[in-house]
Structure 1
């Protein structure tokens, strides 16, 4: 098992941790380079692939190496229940191209605090066909807990950290209870949709950068929606409008 540990450590500095079968599945489907992947039970992982990802069975047969549970625990602080882990290498320049040439909205998370929420929004953005997810503040959007929560769908969209002055060009619609009702607006395809944290809302810098403030419809006396729910409502509104144009 020393060979697997040595290879893992070779790529650990630049690699993104794929924690679990589904993260590995999505990374491979969306073109990530995966130099090393391990499983505590290789046959069980391949059976899962035959059931849930038959398109990847051949790839995984050549990639997965079985390691003892104690070795997996050495490589991954909190192994996924599927007993699968891998390292993936992001494609250089991919994010910049996606942000520059986008034909779908970007989701901007303004100083988010919860890693799981960030990953959930990335998963949502990938499924809805958004151009990507940008975060401001101190959270690393590629933190292993974010990638775990996204089920590896970071590789299906653009994900990056940018401070407010570094945001790309395009109209910025910032979501705030005092804004215009979303239902009366048409979101342009190059829009940026900014959401503050559930507790603190938008930062002053994001509010100043915004072209428009937008409000989600919400029952009186309900304080807020979950961050991913808010992003889902906005992206669904965009998707529904795009179908009618």
Structure 2
């Protein structure tokens, strides 16, 4: 399973997602441009030595990323969906896509996704932190596909 971050803006969030990928064996795709310098020490500080245990794929733009998708489904996590991630049937080769922290995903990219799901939350709040959302999403997808590490 892969987690793809579209133009992430906050180094600490990326570091936390890298650590998540290391712990659960998920590849992390970073779709550029990034909102920070890659050598930013905050990424390494958040990811710590876990960064040495995760596969990271960097892509110059969405088209370069799209060329790597193959037969996998692109599952977009968005607050604009009515389908709950807990009712969606994940597959082991799905790619879980998350938009940038400030703006999400452009509509033209959202339309290329195979599915759009949301993490249910109280209606009076806007959204969760990117790394928290990725953790909930990956945990549920791995649980459903019996792919959790032992």
Report if aligned partners of 1:107, 1:193 keep a CA contact under 8 Å in 2: yes
1:165 counterpart residue number: 63
Aligned counterpart for 1:134 among listed residues 29, 44, 47: 29
Return the structure number with greater helix share: 1
2:142 counterpart residue number: 239
- Structure 2 unaligned segments of length 5 or more: list them: none
Distance 2:53 2:93 in 1: 18
- Structure 1 unaligned segments of length 5 or more: list them: 1-104
Distance 1:205 1:220 in 2: 26
Higher relative contact order (CA 8 A, sep 6+): 2
Return the structure number with greater strand share: 1
Aligned counterpart for 2:80 among listed residues 158, 161, 178: 178
Report if aligned partners of 1:141, 1:161 keep a CA contact under 8 Å in 2: no
Could you tell me how far 1:242 is from its partner in structure 2?
A: 2.4
Report if aligned partners of 1:134, 1:159 keep a CA contact under 8 Å in 2: yes
Could you tell me how far 1:148 is from its partner in structure 2?
A: 2.0
The number of residues matched between the two structures is 139
Could you tell me how far 1:216 is from its partner in structure 2?
A: 0.8
Q: Which moved more, 1:205-214 or 1:221-230?
A: 205-214
Is 1:124 the counterpart of 2:26? The answer is no
1:145 counterpart residue number: 42
Is 1:225 the counterpart of 2:115? The answer is no
Cα distance 1:141–1:214, how it changes in 2: closer, same or farther (>3 A)? farther
User: TM-score normalized by structure 2?
Assistant: 0.84
Aligned-CA RMSD value? 1.8
Could you tell me how far 1:196 is from its partner in structure 2?
A: 0.9
Residues 25-63 of structure 1 show CA distances to partners (whole Å, capped at 9, x for unaligned) of xxxxxxxxxxxxxxxxxxxxxxxxxxxxxxxxxxxxxxx
Residues 149-171 of structure 1 show CA distances to partners (whole Å, capped at 9, x for unaligned) of 10122221211221211221221
Report if aligned partners of 2:15, 2:47 keep a CA contact under 8 Å in 1: yes
Is the radius of gyration larger for structure 1 or structure 2? 1
Deviation beyond 3 Å, 4+ runs, structure 1: 140-144
Cα distance 1:215–1:141, how it changes in 2: closer, same or farther (>3 A)? farther
